[in-house]
Each structure stands twice: as structure tokens, then as C-alpha cells.
Amino acid sequence: MTTATLKEITEKAKVPARNKKPNSDEMKQAFETYLSGLPTELRAKLEIYNNRVITNAANNDQANPIIENLLPEIKIIDAATILSTEYPPIDWIVKDYLAPGLTFIVGKPKVGKSWLALQLAQSVLTGGKMFDRDVKSGRVLILALEDNERRLNDRMKMQGWNIKPGSVDFMLADTFRDQIAALNTGGGKRLLKFIEKKKYRLVIVDTFSRSIQGDQLDPEQMTKAVGPLQQYALSKGVALVIVDHMPKNSPSQNPIDHVYGSVAKAGITDSLWGLYKEQGKAGAKLAITGRDVPETELKLTFDTRLFFWHCEGTALDVELTSQRRAILEALRDLGRSQLKAIADGAGQRQNHCHTRLQDLVNAGLVRRIADAQTQNVFYELINESSDSSTSNASPRVRRAGSPGIAG
């Protein structure tokens, strides 16, 4: 826009000289006329700044009533409008596990967080499956702030990457430091412009501590670092995943408790992945929680040949499967037996063992036999039963001294 044109707009926006002050409607009209001649980005910034200044002035106890009238009408949404609106379904990156927005992957050092992040990147690249869930394909950016090219080369080869140029991009620490800068010192805005330009579907920051400056216990700094990223990711359908370290010596296995530093980080994030691994064991648990993500715990094992995390199912399902297997093994050793003997043999509480026995009966793996005379109940493996017991037969007890337990 030329200087002359802007001058014409300014002149047009002027209120004609008169003895009395312009009213609020005239002032808003003049300001709107002035804004109409500005570039879109500049206009938006000026509107926001003007609203903040007027709001602060209106909040003063002795504010002039005309100031209040300069504020735009407060926007509200009627509940009936929300209920009657058909909103589009969640545009999942990983079905049920990763939605657009900000996600933290937290875990202790050397637990396998970076391997998990690389696995996620490759899954989005190929658009196949991750943990038996559908993955939507797209371009990926990884801020590998703790790695160099040689290490990334090794890890991608170990995971069997085979990709075309331009589908997954890495940004290393020196480039981030020199051309982006810390997320809470202006680098966040620069990064968002780059993400918008390249149209990335998934952005991984590994790790958070290398991407910021200052105190992670400071809520203002943390909000400044991740707040704009979260808002952008949510509005643009991008998954922004930040790898972060857990605080030390915390007995909890809730990922919300393990976002290190200010509570602002946990408050802003849309979902959390907590990776937990016991020392010296191959298995691990991935606890997932979030605003749009169902709370889930997955049982994982790390494949040391392919360097991938494999999902065995939800932690609850795996645990129940293990416990049911213990019951089947106890029945195999004991033969036809009553609840107490089975519970003792499986090392389980009787009430829990009883519930699982009913599941095994419903699954057709175990037969339930009731003695009509004594009202005692016995169980046996169906595939190992050699006689055709009936409900009123007197069962043979292979383990002496088992007390009769009804039901």
C-alpha cells in the first residue's frame, strides 16, 4: 500500500471537528475504517492489542462508561447450538492413541523414548499400523536435538527404514540453535512458520530440555514455550510430540505426575504418553491419557533384533491372560478341584479366581460341576476330562483335604 493511499484512509477515518466528543459508535466506525486499509496480519495484531488496552481500561474501578462501549460484544455459544451441531470426527494420527495437538512422551533416561519416537515417525511415514491401530500418513519433521547424523543413520538402518527423499526431515541441534532458537525466546513462532510452509503432519521434538531456555519450574516461561505450539497444532490438525525426561525417584506410574517441571506443561498438553520399564526386564508399559484420547495402558516388549516396540495388548488384558493361564495350569496339575484349591494353586485371591473361572467356563475351556447332594462346586479342564460327569454326579477330588465351598 502506498503512503498516499494510507493517508487517504487516515483522513477518511477522522471524525469531523465539532464541539462535542464523538460517541463510542463513531469511534468504533473510525477505527474500523482505519483497520480496513491495513494488511491482514497487521490488522489482526492491532485489533488484539486494542482490545487488550480497552479491556484493561474498562476493568479500572473508575473507568469512563464510554470505554466499556468500545469493547466488542462478548461472544457466547448457546448449549443448544453445540448440541445440534454435527462436528467432524477426530482426525487421528494413530487411531485412539494420538490425536492432533500437543503430546508429551515422558520416560526415564535410556528407557527407549527415542526408539519409540522414531517408530512413530516411520509409522506416520508409511501410513500403516502402530500398536495394531491405523495410522494416517503424512510428512514428518524430527528435531533431533541430542543426536548427530551418524547416530541417526545407524538407528534408521537398525529399524529398517526405506524411504523416499522429502518425506521425513531431521533438524539437528546446531541448525535449531542458529536458525530457530529456544521455543520460549521467539523460536516457537519461527518453528510454526516453518511447519506451516512444509505442511508437516507430525513434528517430534527430542528432547524438550534442549529446545528451551530458562527454568522449567516457571509457569510463565513454560506457557510461553509450549502454549502457541499447542494452539497451532490443535487448529491445524498437526501432532506435535515432545520427548521429555521424567523426574527422578517418583513411585507413581501416572504420566501426568511425570511431566517434569511446571504444572503449566501438564495443563497445556492435550495428551501424555508415559513409558515405564522395570530395570533388567524386557517388557514395559505405555500409559496413555489425554483430553480426546481414551485412558489406556499398553503392554510393550522391545524387539532387540528389529529395534521396535511391539504391543502385546492392553496391560489389563495381558494381566488377565496371564492370570487365567495360571488357573489353567493349576487345574492341569490338580485335576478336578474346588475353588480354594485352584486359587491356592494359582496364587490368587478366591474372589478374583472365581471371576476368572467363570470367564474360562464361558470361553469353553473349563467345566463347572455342581454336586446336587453336597452343593459343592468343582471345576475341571474340558479337554482333559475323561469321564462324562453330570451335574448330579459325585465328583472325584484329587487333592485331599480340600474343604467344600459352595458356589
Parent domain of 16 = 3-70
Residues 263 and 139 occupy one common structural domain: yes
Residues 301 and 329 occupy one common structural domain: no
Residues 53 and 109 occupy one common structural domain: no
Q: At what angle do helices 350-362 and 339-346 cross, to 10 degrees?
A: 100
Residues 297 and 324 occupy one common structural domain: no
Provide the pLDDT for residue 319: 72
- Cα–Cα distance measured from residue 320 to residue 379, given in angstroms and rounded to the nearest whole number: 19
Residues 286 and 185 occupy one common structural domain: yes
- Cα–Cα distance measured from residue 336 to residue 308, given in angstroms and rounded to the nearest whole number: 43
Q: What is the pLDDT of residues 124-172, one digit of tens each?
A: 998 888 998 999 999 999 999 999 999 999 999 999 998 777 789 999 9
The pLDDT of 262-267, averaged and rounded, is 66
- The answer as to whether 336 is a domain residue is yes
Task: Inform me whether the pLDDT recorded for 255 exceeds 50.
Answer: yes
Q: How confident is the model at residue 396 (pLDDT cuts 50, 70, 90)?
A: very low
Q: How confident is the model at residue 261 (pLDDT cuts 50, 70, 90)?
A: low
Provide the pLDDT for residue 386: 41
The mean of the pLDDT values for the chain is: 82
Least confident among 245-249, 302-306, 372-376: 245-249
What pTM does this model have? Answer: 0.67
- The answer as to whether 264 is a domain residue is yes
204 or 74: which leads in pLDDT: 204
Q: Which residues contact 276 (CB under 8 A, 6 or more apart)?
A: 107, 111, 253, 284, 285, 286, 287
279 or 89: which leads in pLDDT: 89
Strand-pair category, 283-290 with 296-303 = antiparallel
- The answer as to whether 150 is a domain residue is yes
Among 306, 341, 356, identify where a domain stops: 306
For residue 378, what is the domain's CATH number?
1.10.10.10
Provide the pLDDT for residue 257: 57
Provide the pLDDT for residue 66: 73
- The answer as to whether 404 is a domain residue is no
- The answer as to whether 285 is a domain residue is yes
The pLDDT of 71-92, averaged and rounded, is 89
Among 283, 306, 329, identify where a domain stops: 306
75 or 80: which leads in pLDDT: 80
Residues 254 and 202 occupy one common structural domain: yes
Residues 334 and 257 occupy one common structural domain: no
Looking at the 3D structure of the chain, how many domains does it have? 3
The pLDDT of 78-104, averaged and rounded, is 93
Percent of the chain residues topping a pLDDT of 70: 82
Residues 173 and 288 occupy one common structural domain: yes
Burial (0-12, 13-18, 19+ Cβ within 10 Å), 105? buried
Query: Is residue 16 classed as helix, strand or coil in its secondary structure?
Result: coil
Residues 244 and 170 occupy one common structural domain: yes
- The answer as to whether 406 is a domain residue is no
Q: How many CB atoms lie under 10 A from the CB of residue 355?
A: 13
For residue 158, what is the domain's CATH number?
3.40.50.300
Residues 28 and 113 occupy one common structural domain: no
Residues 193 and 257 occupy one common structural domain: yes
Provide the pLDDT for residue 401: 31
The pLDDT of 105-132, averaged and rounded, is 91
- The answer as to whether 179 is a domain residue is yes
Provide the pLDDT for residue 186: 85
| Cell numbers found for residue 340 | 480354594
Provide the pLDDT for residue 5: 65
Contact 140, 204 (CB under 8 A): yes
Among 285, 306, 327, identify where a domain stops: 306
- The answer as to whether 134 is a domain residue is yes
Q: How confident is the model at residue 249 (pLDDT cuts 50, 70, 90)?
A: low
Residues 166 and 135 occupy one common structural domain: yes
Distances (CA, A) of 201 to 24, 236, 239, 252: 45, 9, 6, 32
